[in-house]
Amino acid sequence: MIEVENLKKYFSSGMLRKRYVKAVDDVSFHIEKGETLGLVGESGCGKTTIGKAILKLIKPTSGRVIFDGVDLLKLKKKKLRRLRPRMQMIFQDPDSSLDPRMKIGDSIAEPLKLQGDINKGEIKGKILELVETVGLNPEHVNRYPYQLSGGQNQRVVLARILALNPDFIIADEPTSSLDVSVQAQILNMMNDLKREIHLTLLFISHDLEVVRCMSDRIAVMYQGKIVEIGKTEDIFDYAKHPYTNTLISPTSIGDRVILDRDMKNASDYTLGCVFYQRCPFAVERCSKKEPEMIEIGKKHYVLCDRVT
């Protein structure tokens, strides 16, 4: 369904001396139809950037994104626009995901209107149907986003997206800014929808537990790189990468982890493993040579040279 190959996104900053932040650095993975891939990693590791780059909402530095056999990054603007409704993204902050000057109803109707050939009566019916699907009240339709809670706004975003009948959705920490109870409701709803309409999903979160309950497979990300990817059970039971292990049980090797503050910008390092500075098992060779992705089980890959 979707294939990402060697995707890179470097942000440059500085006028005279250009500095690069390697937000996404040579990432490859694929998601099959109907499958949910979870993407975990600490804040700032490049998860949102991957999501936006896949949908070409920001221009990737290099790489390929193939959706249903079409290379999105080579696509002409017009063709891309026509393809876009099939791929959608839910953003982290629901309150900034809606036009503050548009009523909820108009926001939900917008994708329908942009698709064309649908009359007013049909739109009205469809809006009410969608509002119900996502668990909102019909009277919310005449309100503005600032009059609703974060959870309600996220439901509106979901309704808007469902109006398009997309094949592929990227959910970027859709619940991380919401209360725990609301979080559970939204996650349950997404799980139901997934089953009902056979969605393909890239589910992004910094919370491993949330990802666990949503995903078929999990990709673990660290500083712009995917360091381990595999089936959900395998990641939890047979995690091989030391970083994955710190995520699963933070105390297991926590006392040995060295957090070098200067390394916040570890992307300056071009040589060696991204995790070298924090890795308890690192040997000298890890700082010299970039590790390669190796297959250690069925659909289970690790970016580490020390795994045997």
Ligand X SMILES: Nc1ncnc2c1ncn2[C@@H]1O[C@H](COP(=O)(O)OP(=O)(O)O)[C@@H](O)[C@H]1O
Binding site for Mg ion (CB under 5 A): 48
Q: Are 190 and 88 in contact (CB under 8 A)?
A: no
**Residue 225 and residue 221: Cα distance in Å, rounded?**
5
DSSP at 142 = G
CB of 44 to ligand X, least distance (A): 4
Sheet containing 36-40: order of strands: 87-90, 168-172, 200-205, 36-40, 217-222, 225-231, 300-303, 293-297
The yes or no reply on residue 137 touching another protein (CB under 8 A) is: no
Beta bridge partners of 70: 67
The torsion angle over the Cα atoms of residues 279, 283, 287 and 291, rounded to 10 degrees, is -80
From candidates 3, 5, 11, 144, binder to ligand X by CB under 6 A: 11
CB of 41 to ligand X, least distance (A): 6
**Location of structure tokens 């800014």:** 177
From candidates 4, 7, 23, 169, binder to ligand X by CB under 6 A: 23
Total residues in contact with ligand X, by rule CB under 6 A = 11
Nearer to Mg ion, 45 or 273 (CB): 45
**Residue 229 and residue 215: Cα distance in Å, rounded?**
12
SS3 144: coil
Q: Are 94 and 154 in contact (CB under 8 A)?
A: yes
Nearer to Mg ion, 48 or 223 (CB): 48
From candidates 71, 99, 122, 268, binder to another protein by CB under 8 A: 99
CB of 46 to ligand X, least distance (A): 4
The yes or no reply on residue 33 touching another protein (CB under 8 A) is: no
Question: Which helix (DSSP H) or strand (DSSP E) does residue 62 occupy?
Answer: strand 62-67
Q: Extract the tokens encoding 202.
A: 């890239």
The yes or no reply on residue 205 touching ligand X (CB under 6 A) is: no
Give the range of 89-97, 175-183, 237-245, 274-282 binding another protein by CB under 8 A: 89-97
Residues 29-58 that bind ligand X (CB under 6 A): 41, 43-49
The yes or no reply on residue 205 touching another protein (CB under 8 A) is: no
- Count of CA atoms in the C-beta half-sphere (13 A) of 274: 21
Residue 44: which of another protein, ligand X, Mg ion, none does it interact with, CB under 5 to 8 A by kind? ligand X
* Closest CA relative to residue 27, chosen from 238, 204, 173, 282: 204
Nearer to ligand X, 45 or 87 (CB): 45
From candidates 97, 175, 205, 244, binder to another protein by CB under 8 A: 97
Output phi, psi for 77, to 5 deg: -55, -45
The yes or no reply on residue 79 touching another protein (CB under 8 A) is: no
Nearer to Mg ion, 24 or 136 (CB): 24
Residue 23: which of Mg ion, another protein, ligand X, none does it interact with, CB under 5 to 8 A by kind? ligand X
CB of 106 to another protein, least distance (A): 10
Beta bridge partners of 64: 5
Total residues in contact with another protein, by rule CB under 8 A = 28
Burial class for 20, CB neighbours closer than 10 Å (0-12, 13-18, 19+) = middle
Residues that bind ligand X (CB under 6 A): 11, 21, 23, 41, 43-49
Residues that bind another protein (CB under 8 A): 52, 55, 57, 81-85, 87-89, 91-93, 96-102, 110-111, 114, 146, 157, 160, 164
